[in-house]
Amino acid sequence: MNYEAQNARYVARVEEGLRALLPEAQAAWETGKIPEGLCQSMRYSLLAGGKRVRPVLMLATADMLHVDPQEALCPACAIEMIHTYSLIHDDLPGMDDDDLRRGKPTNHKVYGVGAAILAGDGLLNFAFECMLQNALRYPQHLQGHVRAIEAIAVRAGVTGMIAGQSIDLLYEHRQMDEAALSYVHQHKTADLLTAPLLAAACIAEADEHIMHALEAFGHSIGMAFQIQDDLLDIEGDAASLGKATGMDAERGKMTWPALYGVQRAHAMADALWTQAIASLEEFGDRAAYLRAFVQNLRARRA
Amino acid sequence: MNYEAQNARYVARVEEGLRALLPEAQAAWETGKIPEGLCQSMRYSLLAGGKRVRPVLMLATADMLHVDPQEALCPACAIEMIHTYSLIHDDLPGMDDDDLRRGKPTNHKVYGVGAAILAGDGLLNFAFECMLQNALRYPQHLQGHVRAIEAIAVRAGVTGMIAGQSIDLLYEHRQMDEAALSYVHQHKTADLLTAPLLAAACIAEADEHIMHALEAFGHSIGMAFQIQDDLLDIEGDAASLGKATGMDAERGKMTWPALYGVQRAHAMADALWTQAIASLEEFGDRAAYLRAFVQNLRARRA
């Protein structure tokens, strides 16, 4: 399997799917469609590029579990909408108050705070709207689709991603201990990486055993990704020695290397990547793409 | 039928349902439940009282169409969560920037802007989470439940309530014409009053004819309610003569009496209330509660 080529195919399908679900705002608001300005602000952030990690994971897991790719495309795109709304709201004043995201001005810097709040609300609501309409297109698999949407809702919600954001905000000006840091990364990052895996498994009507394996896989890559992120921040920063001994100075947030030192953080990430590969064992050759995905993520330098 | 007693019973069921879905934040975040602070901020706004118009409409329509009250309670409560999230986000700086809501400090005044954004996001996501879990409890009525959730998503979403908010925001510093004012009230107000009617009809697997009648009913009461709101604002305000001739001075927003004068606005509201009653004709005696509901709403003085 050529990983790069397969990844490019998945990404292209996601990009096409997103544009089909949220087309250009040609129809003015008078026609009863999405108001033009709202549509533009949603598209600005949704179509700003990125690696599309979450929807690609869903398409790959769907392939692995013999799910019709067409059935999986809409929930895959919806998870990307949920991820995007969370970034728009995270960037707002009162949250992280960021001016830039992926080198472009943040949504509220371009459209204003009010419009950015609505763009985020709109993407979250639209994600469910699209998934529900998709589910109704497959009456013979309706229960699997509803379980998939429910799995996504739980991981995105008040015991999942939003819970992680909430605890992150709570510790804005306080030192996190390991329990808090672990909770935030589990929920803010790992839960939305687990969601696409479980959603594909629900549509496939997979058994509990497969669900647990995928949940373990999602947890491992999510936590490893986050520790690696912290390490890359330090290693990419010449003036970084101070960071390894205390809180991330710039963001005022606790990091894994700050808590444990660089060496132990590296060892923790290594163990998690190994666990991730191990949790794919039962899928045999069909997990070739997901294994390559892990190796690729592990080797990243930025 | 004793309207007041029946209304009190519906409201009590909604209050009980809301508290069952979102219980007190006793379980600390360490147990994996909803983080305590997040739960508190969501409950602060969700349990702040109010007439519970939308969920009561759903319970009453469910009764009218012979839907099991237990099946309808969860989506009814979820619509109230959606209504509540929209108020929290509407009150934020960058939107209406309000300090008070129903005589209490707004959510962001108590918990901060970041926490209020998350409380709103949390309520919207939780609404879908609860509805999906409820749908899965009724496998024999799954399709009807999914269609109900979809109907709610559409009316709450980017061609519904959020569309109305978006156009409202667009005209913040501009004079609205009739088309814009009508669009805003149709979507910002009437759509979320129509949602519970259609949701009950979807669970009942009602035919197109009944859907259309309920859609007409929701539109009429939504628009009438809004025009009446504008009129009550004027009539309740001693220094209000200026308002009737231009934009609502305080909020900088256009109103029906400002556009048409008090007398014509009254006539428009009257016609809409009459239409609302007329659209219930085919339901005969079973619509007694909804008729009384309209009379009660029409007679309100605040």
| Beta-carbon separation of A150 and B136 below 8 A | yes
Among the partner residues B117, B159, B179, nearest to A89 by beta-carbon distance: B117
Of the listed ranges A87-96, B30-39, B99-108, B291-300, the least confidently predicted one is B30-39
Q: What is the pLDDT of residue A241?
A: 46
Return the percentage of chain B with pLDDT > 70, whole number.
93
| Beta-carbon separation of A29 and B165 below 8 A | no
Which of A22, A43, A138, A146 would you mutate first to test chain B, the one with the most B CBs within 10 A? A146
* pLDDT tens digits, B69-106: 999 999 999 999 999 999 999 999 999 999 999 899 99
| Amino acid code (one letter) for A211 | M
Q: What is the DSSP letter of B185?
A: I
Q: What is the pLDDT of residue A245?
A: 46
Length of chain B: 302
Structure confidence at residue A254 as a pLDDT band (50, 70, 90): confident
Q: Which residue has the higher pLDDT, B256 or A246?
A: B256
Contact B120/A at CB under 8 A: yes
Q: What CA–CA distance (Å, rounded) separates A192 from B222?
A: 37
Q: What is the pLDDT of residue A24?
A: 85
Q: How far is CA B30 from CA A181, B21, B36, in A?
A: 12, 20, 10
Min Cα–Cα distance to chain B from A32, Å: 7
Which residues in A lie closer than 8 A to residue B170 (C-beta atoms)? 35, 37
| Beta-carbon separation of A117 and B94 below 8 A | yes
Pick the closest to residue B130 from B288, B287, B17 (CA basis).
B17
Q: What CA–CA distance (Å, rounded) separates A7 from A297?
A: 12
| Amino acid code (one letter) for A281 | E
In this prediction the ipTM stands at 0.95
| B59 neighbors B14 (Cβ within 8 angstroms) | yes
| Beta-carbon separation of B38 and A166 below 8 A | yes
Q: What is the pLDDT of residue A240?
A: 45
Q: What is the pLDDT of residue B302?
A: 74
Q: What is the pLDDT of residue B25?
A: 76
Q: What is the pLDDT of residue A246?
A: 45
Instruction: Name the residue ranges covered by the structural domains of chain A.
Output: 3-298
For residue B89, the chain A residue with the least C-alpha distance is A117
CATH tag, B3-298: 1.10.600.10
Evaluate if residue B33 carries a pLDDT over 80. Answer: yes
| Beta-carbon separation of B166 and A33 below 8 A | no
pTM of the prediction?
0.95
Structure confidence at residue A265 as a pLDDT band (50, 70, 90): very high
Which residues in A lie closer than 8 A to residue B106 (C-beta atoms)? none
* pLDDT tens digits, A20-76: 999 987 755 555 589 999 999 999 999 998 899 999 999 999 999 999 999 999 999
Contact B12/A at CB under 8 A: no
Q: What is the pLDDT of residue B249?
A: 45
Structure confidence at residue B172 as a pLDDT band (50, 70, 90): confident
Evaluate if residue A200 carries a pLDDT over 50. Answer: yes
Contact B28/A at CB under 8 A: no
Contact A112/B at CB under 8 A: yes
Which residues face B101 on adjacent strands?
B104
For residue A159, the chain B residue with the least C-alpha distance is B34
Give the residue-averaged pLDDT of B164-176: 91
Q: Among residues 53-82 of chain B, which lie with CB inside 8 Å of chain A?
A: none
* pLDDT tens digits, A119-170: 999 999 999 999 999 999 999 999 999 999 999 999 999 999 999 999 999 9
Of the listed ranges A76-80, A114-118, B203-207, B229-233, the least confidently predicted one is B229-233
Contact A137/B at CB under 8 A: no
Q: 3-class SS at A101?
A: strand
Min Cα–Cα distance to chain A from B92, Å: 8
| A126 neighbors A22 (Cβ within 8 angstroms) | yes
Q: What CA–CA distance (Å, rounded) separates A48 from A62?
A: 25
